[in-house]
């Protein structure tokens, strides 16, 4: 029997990268998945996968979140994966970049968690997993001003939910990856002009001398979503190739 057999999970940003690897890993472990993403093209890659249903969802649209969660009142697991990287310091982070970082990285999790929690409580419990980053309150990373601030906010949101609901069978944890080879990381490396030196810079952050894979993050997510993790809540789960050791 799979480690997530009998569970129903909704995952945001499931069309690519860590979200997609997690949707596939959760489904292999027997969960029924609502894989959501802003991109129909990205979701198309998951169509036809056993145990996975796809739904368009832009996490910056509160009305769409409310509508979708109403149609899934029986979720056991919410995995908030969607995030956006603004590259820059406070000096180069305009108000639009700041507002977008807050909206995609933090307010989205407020909206989805608020939509999922009452139903989880009504049916006896649930798991909320939030994607943070080591670039947060764990460590300051250069040119990650708005990203680091909002990912630190994700840790605060996670701990606050965990504290309020620990006695009511809701577990809420944060995952903090180091640098992971995903389509968006590839985009960030290309955007820096010199792809090879950008790649070397990103690899150098990990003492293991390599980038992480989306599957390595998905393994941790499977554990945290499963009943095997029944005694962990409000915790920062670092998976970073030794970056912050
Ligand atoms: P990614 O950025 O490569 O792609 C994820 C998906 O997000 C895409 O399919 C895209 O269509 C979707 N998406 C974009 N905007 C959206 C929106 N508004 N609503 C819904 N979906 C949207 O993914 P990734 O690199 O795997 O990152 C996933 C999460 O992990 C993010 O929160 C990111 O900050 C975090 N993270 C990534 C790394 C890394 O090195 N890749 C490290 C630490 C944390």
Q: What is the pLDDT of residues 151-178, one digit of tens each?
A: 999 999 999 999 999 999 999 999 999 9
Structural domain includes residue 157: yes
Structural domain includes residue 96: yes
Test site for ligand 1: of 15, 39, 82, most ligand atoms within 8 A of the Cβ: 82
Q: How many domains does the chain have?
A: 1
Q: What is the pLDDT of residues 222-241, one digit of tens each?
A: 999 999 999 999 999 999 99
Under 8 Å between Cβ of 87 and 142: no
Which residues form the domain of 143? 8-178+213-237
Structural domain includes residue 244: no
Structural domain includes residue 242: no
Structural domain includes residue 192: no
Q: How far is the CA of 102 from the centre of ligand 1 (A)?
A: 14
Cβ-based neighbours of 90, under 8 Å, separated by 6 or more? 145
Q: Which of these, 171, 101, 167, lies nearest to 129 by C-alpha position?
A: 171
**Index of the ligand 1 atom closest to the CA of residue 212:** 40
Structural domain includes residue 202: no
Structural domain includes residue 198: no
CATH number at residue 225: 3.40.50.720
For the chain, give the percent of residues with pLDDT over 90.
Answer: 99
Q: What is the pLDDT of residues 62-75, one digit of tens each?
A: 999 999 999 999 99
Q: Does 39 contact ligand 1 (Cβ within 6 A)?
A: yes
Q: How far is the CA of 187 from the centre of ligand 1 (A)?
A: 11
Average pLDDT over residues 145-152: 98
Question: What are the residue numbers of the active site?
Answer: 147
Give the separation between CA 139 and CA 154, rounded to whole angstroms: 14
Which token pair is 121?
Answer: 């409580």
Q: What is the pLDDT of residues 175-223, one digit of tens each?
A: 999 999 999 999 999 999 999 999 999 999 999 999 999 999 999 999 9
Q: What is the pLDDT of residues 75-118, one digit of tens each?
A: 999 999 999 999 999 999 999 999 999 999 999 999 999 999 99
pTM of the model: 0.98
Q: How far is the CA of 184 from the centre of ligand 1 (A)?
A: 7
What's residue 112's pLDDT?
A: 99
Number of H helices and E strands in the chain, helices first, is 9, 9
Structural domain includes residue 168: yes
Query: Angle, nearest 10°, between helix axes 17-28 and 183-191?
Result: 170
Among protein residues, the one whose CA lies closest to atom 1 of ligand 1: 184
Among protein residues, the one whose CA lies closest to atom 41 of ligand 1: 180
Per-residue pLDDT band for 1 (boundaries 50, 70, 90) equals confident
Any alpha helices (H) in 1-87, and if so which ranges?
17-28, 40-44, 62-70
């Amino acid at each position: 029997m799979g480690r997530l057999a009998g569970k129903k999970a909704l995952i945001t940003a499931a069309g690519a990268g860590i979200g997609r690897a997690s949707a596939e890993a959760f489904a292999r472990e027997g969960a029924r998945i609502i894989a959501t993403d802003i991109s129909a093209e990205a979701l198309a890659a998951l169509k036809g996968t056993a145990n996975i249903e796809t739904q368009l969802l832009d996490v910056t649209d509160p009305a769409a979140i409310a509508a979708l969660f109403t149609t899934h009142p029986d979720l056991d697991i919410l995995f908030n994966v969607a995030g956006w990287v603004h590259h820059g310091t406070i000096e180069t982070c305009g108000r639009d970049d700041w507002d977008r970082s807050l909206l995609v990285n933090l307010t989205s999790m407020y909206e989805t968690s608020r939509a999922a929690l009452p139903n989880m409580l009504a049916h006896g419990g649930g798991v909320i997993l939030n994607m943070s980053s080591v670039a947060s309150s764990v460590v300051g990373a250069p040119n990650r001003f708005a990203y680091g601030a909002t990912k630190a906010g994700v840790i605060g949101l996670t701990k606050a939910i965990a504290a309020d609901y620990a006695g009511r069978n809701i577990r809420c944890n944060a995952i903090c990856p180091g640098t992971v080879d995903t389509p968006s990381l590839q985009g960030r490396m290309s955007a820096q002009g010199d792809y090879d030196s950008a790649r070397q810079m990103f690899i150098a952050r990990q003492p293991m001398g390599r980038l992480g894979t989306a599957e390595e993050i998905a393994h941790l997510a499977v554990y945290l979503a499963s009943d095997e993790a029944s005694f962990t809540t409000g915790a920062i789960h670092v998976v970073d190739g030794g970056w912050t050791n």
